[in-house]
Structure 1
């Protein structure tokens, strides 16, 4: 039997970072004033920018970079394995893809973010599934996520 405990391990943290336990956070970088809610997993090599809030039950996998002043709602899931070989990559990192989230991006609860790039100043609606790069600021929602409107 193999038992792995949750915890905070090998994390580079800026000033005034708050992590609510239990959380499983390892090998990542958290900028100044970041807030991490309970039941969050952040995997190695993830970078979270200053003043970003990650709410409870969210999963941020390897190869994700999140900018500054972002909001990640409850239960947001980031994906790095697109099953491009017809099934899971089974740890073959050459099959994984990266995700880049700009600054001032808000992602609503239960959204799923596939490996994409999202520009600055974007709102992703709750439950949205982002499958393509977002290059224009504005509000996006749906499955797949589509442009709804510019910011008010």
Structure 2
């Protein structure tokens, strides 16, 4: 019988601001976490991600490479960020040249189980739980649905 190759979760090569709180288990590597950030359990934050000061990332969220999140944001439970749009009909197979960036502004709240494709979201936006953000959001407001659309002003 062949033995599996087992990888351990942990915190490796992370730049932290002051007063960061983390609830294990987490998998954080090669990222930058600003001051006063909270990271809940079962969260993965990948290489080159930047999380701004005062942001809270709740449990079971996945933040992939090429994501930048601003200050004082809330990332709900189970939020998934995507950087590969399968533009060739399937996964990029590790070809980072095919991946796209996501930029989240300041004071953005993303509800539980939302999926965020590679987009830009401006400051002062609320994304409803379970929403799928497929296009840039350039005006503050409350957005929900699949695909997410503006449902009202904040």
Aligned length: 151
Q: Aligned residue for 1:107?
A: 110
Shift of 1:24: 0.3
Partner of residue 98, structure 1: 101
Gap runs ≥5 in structure 1: none
RMSD of the alignment, in Å?
0.4
Q: Please point out which of 132, 149, 152 is paired with 2:152.
A: 149
CA shift for structure 1 position 3: 1.5
Aligned 1:44-59 pairs, distance under 5 A? 44-59=47-62
After TM superposition, where is structure 1 displaced by more than 6 Å over at least 4 residues in a row?
Answer: none
Matched with 2:29 is 26
The TM-score normalised by the length of structure 1 is 0.99
Deviation of 1:21 after TM superposition, in Å, equals 0.2
Unaligned runs of 5+ in 2: none
- TM-score of the two chains, using structure 2 as the length reference: 0.97
For residue 129 of structure 1, what is the aligned residue in structure 2? 132
**What SS does structure 2 have at the residue aligned with 1:94?**
helix
1:15, distance to aligned residue in structure 2 (A): 0.2
1:60 is matched with 63
**Following the alignment from structure 1 to structure 2, what is the Cα–Cα distance between the partners of residues 68 and 14?**
12
Q: Separation in 2 of the partners of 1:45 and 1:19?
A: 18
Which residue pairs with 1:12 in the alignment?
15
